[in-house]
Structure 1
């Protein structure tokens, strides 16, 4: 595809680290730098060096970490207030890096200018000029941010952009700081700036957008800015950031993949590495894998309705918007629910236990009816272990089934508190294995404990095809007991799949 080139700045290490309850260690930041480098984002925003000695060191080492790698590497941006002492600190953190960028920011809405600086519009233009001129003595490139741009007077915003470009800024960033814009407003704003600011048309500077998600529109607003012609987008992995977060890189990539004709653009991203980078951000931020989130959520590729399951069997594209495998995420998976039918049950058993119900159509039909009847009973939980138990009772499955009552030793783990979650998971795995089960590698997990029920998601490397994954998800009143049941499902799946491969 030959389209307009869009640059991607990732702000997971800066805005993401500012999220309430977040905060990355130095080792975690460097791991993210590595992942983002492999993902091939154009710019990694490493942090805010003036915030603390620790943050300065993290930004400095991020620059060194990239410089030590061979081949093409992203530029590194560090952000600061438009104050000389902050700018000097940014310059030191960049250490003279050829591809270093100092990212400055000043407010442009009357509300922010008055509340924060008691300054006039003319004062703000002078501050921007002075800050950029000073920063150019400490870095090779400057990005000038327009804070609260979507609530600014459009005429003044155009003047501010022109002023920043004349002063030497190579990137001007339009920030929807409180996430108040809408796609239509964003598109009109960006189109107007590209038309009214000569420096953008002449290629003297790149127009960038940074959208927050307070009203749930960060991704939509960013996509509208792309449609309007912006040259750079600022995103974070999983959308983590201040308050409700930022535009999520995973969602933007998915939309562009699914609507290539509507977005004839090119990026430098190695999309096959996106899932890996996303998973790392989820782990070190403590977010895990939430359900019902677009693209990366635990249920994003799960089909639980009988109508959907039947359609997927006929054509994989009937009930999915894009090929998640292109981004490195798992493909569609079948989940059993009270709305599943025989087609879904057959697909589930084939996927998780290599069982083909069509081999015994008469007996299988009766067994499937019984299983579905049990599932549809109000309040009846039915995972792989219970389904295999029903098939064994019907004489359609001859391997031993590891069920709840078999793994009594694992019950001791259910008494351990969630604060020791990783240790509890590891101990429960050992106990399940000590009871005679075999488990593949646990690649990721997430436990969400609500006031009444817990939702558990465990993801394993496929026991026979390590490049693939198997996911087990359950909801129950007790978190650790629900975890144990997911482990038992995984153990039964492993036994069945390995047995089928060996036969």
Structure 2
């Protein structure tokens, strides 16, 4: 059973290129604050990620500042900035990463017939010249340059080989081969990587990287096929976060190598015991909860309810677990917390779950925990994680819920009376709706004075039982911006209201930020 990812005997290293802070943040509603990005970058650096793609510096001043600060703070990882094949993009990326101990510029341009015709409106020869000029300019700033042919898996092979050869000749040291739209299947992706190795004369002067999207659920499988074909870098994200259906998940790639070294004789520099903490950080910052049955880091990944499975686990854990929970930073057993638990026990539980709070934040979290424990018989690990994540995301909110009363009758009357604190000033409103939740959301909109469009609303239970916390998810869109909110409370209506406010506050934080331009991957 796999306990570590440090085994290197008779295996080759595969570099891990994490793009959670760039491609991951491109997920609609997944925008992160500067502080959240710095925390995630530190966690990635600590866990052994080789290259951190910290952002797209030309996209906005916020992105530039985040990449710059991550570059200053990084201890071991190479810090990478993304740039299109434009001089201003490359210059901005170079400025952002200049303080890093180790830096990289990742530049790209579309090469498929579809993208060249409709997206770029450029002829192949023009694209070819852009490849050379962009890599040459990037190489003037750093010796570590990565080049990507966007939509590579739908690019004509002769043109692909020609562009890769030119990029390497111009100074690219890493060639990324992206399956931008998640169209490839493993056997096909393997053959494409082999084709690059066999047909690009100077490919031995560069490392081949994979960048696979998950539109068909094949991102990890394609990435592993690429490594088997000869790639030695994988571009991935924590929790598989990314555009549309996401990217290859870092935790699945790393534990795949660790668990099946018999079929995949490769290793990474990742300390796998940091995986669970990184997963929680990213899920909380992006407001993208991890699905319960997600491999490696999902709530049910190491849970067993079936009597047959439980019996087998009690006799020998290997009957139903191919890796240990501890190997990815998850405790095998849970300490059940309740209203009689004291500060010391609560602080130890937070450490176990991967949270490190300052004294004031800890006291606020402990007070909320005691309030929750008075309403619930048992408080589980997921209850505490939801409580802390909610505390982190609402601490600096401009709009806060002061009080709320909801009346619902069988005659169809649904009324919400609420008081909001809006930048320190209280406002009272009373609104009716077609349902209780509709009345709550309408009341908030009336109080704040905006008209965000509800994109998604959902509620599920964090834990089992009638006293389980309701985990409410809200996604709002306003003025072209999308933001997500998530809150867990024992009361469904209160959770819904707080989740709506969480998303609304994020929209207000993002107001004024520059819109991101076209992205790679």
TM-score, L = length of structure 1: 0.69
In the other structure, the counterpart of 1:322 is: 323
Asked if 1 retains the 8 angstrom alpha-carbon contact of 2:304 and 2:310, the reply is yes
Compared CA separation, residues 436 and 4, structure 1 to 2 (3 A): closer
Aligned to 1:479: 470
Is the 8 Å Cα contact of residues 10 and 236 (structure 1) preserved in structure 2? yes
Counterpart for residue 161 of structure 2: 158
Q: Distance in 2 between matches of 1:304 and 1:440?
A: 16
Instruction: Note if 1:308 corresponds to 2:317.
Output: no
Offset at 1:480?
Answer: 7.8
State the match for 2:369 in structure 1: 429
Matches of 1:53 and 1:320, distance apart in 2: 46
1:9 equivalenced with 2:5 (yes/no):
no
Shift of 1:428: 6.0
Partner of 2:246: 245
Query: Equivalent residue for 2:102?
Result: 99
Q: How far does residue 49 in structure 1 lie from its aligned partner after superposition?
A: 0.6
TM-score by length of 2: 0.67
Whether the 8 Å CA contact 2:257–2:267 is kept in 1: the answer is no
Unaligned runs of 5+ in 2: 1-8, 341-361, 390-436, 438-455, 473-487, 492-521
Distance in 2, matches of 1:233 and 1:81, equals 20
Match of 1:80 among 78, 83, 89: 83
The structure richer in helix per residue is 1
What is the CA–CA distance in structure 1 between the aligned matches of 2:12 and 2:49, rounded to whole Å? Answer: 16
In 2: Cα distance, 1:236 partner to 1:75 partner: 16
| Residues 478 and 206 (structure 1), Cα distance of their counterparts in 2 relative to 1, 3 Å cut | closer
- Which of 444, 460, 473 lines up with 2:385 in the alignment? 444
2:189 paired residue among 186, 189, 192: 186
Number of matched pairs: 380
d(CA) in 2 for partners of 1:29, 1:191: 36
Shift of 1:255: 1.6
| 2:165 match: secondary structure | helix
Residues 177-198 of structure 1: CA distance to partner in whole angstroms, max 9, x if unpaired? 0111111111111112112223
Give me the whole-angstrom Cα distance separating, in 1, the residues matched to 2:137 and 2:170.
10
Shift of the 56–352 alpha-carbon distance from structure 1 to 2, 3 Å rule, reads: closer
Tell me, yes or no, if the aligned pair for 1:456 and 1:475 is still in contact at 8 Å.
no
Q: What CA distance in whole angstroms lies between the structure 1 residues aligned with 2:160 and 2:376?
A: 68
SS of structure 1 residue aligned to 2:225: helix
Structure 1 residues 286 and 480: alpha-carbon distance in aligned structure 2, compared to 1, 3 A threshold: closer
Question: Which structure ranks higher in relative contact order (CA pairs < 8 Å, sequence separation ≥ 6)?
Answer: 2
Where do 1:19-38 residues align within 5 Å? 19-38=27-46
Determine if contact 1:106/1:146 at 8 Å carries over to the other structure: yes
CA contact 1:454–1:477 (8 Å) conserved in 2:
no
Q: 1: CA distance between counterparts of 2:135 and 2:110?
A: 15
Number of the residue aligned with 1:43: 51
Q: Distance in 2 between matches of 1:439 and 1:119?
A: 59
In 2, the alpha carbon distance for the partners of 1:291 and 1:187 equals: 31
Q: In the aligned structure 1, how far is the partner of 2:194 from the partner of 2:98? A: 37
- For residues 57 and 432 of structure 1, do their structure 2 counterparts lie closer, same or farther at Cα, with a shift above 3 Å needed? closer
- Give me the CA root mean square deviation: 3.3
Rg larger for? 1
Q: Which residue of 1 aligns with 2:295?
A: 294
Alignment check: 8 A CA contact 1:456 1:474 kept: no
Report how far residue 140 of structure 1 moved: 2.7
Q: Does 1:197 find its partner at 2:188?
A: no
**1: CA distance, partners of 2:80 / 2:458:** 44
Larger strand proportion, structure 1 or 2? 2
Asked if 1:268 corresponds to 2:209, the answer is no
Q: Do the aligned partners of 1:308 and 1:319 also contact (CA within 8 Å) in 2?
A: yes
Residue ranges of structure 1 left out of the alignment (5+ in a row)? 334-350, 354-383, 386-399, 401-421, 458-472, 486-503
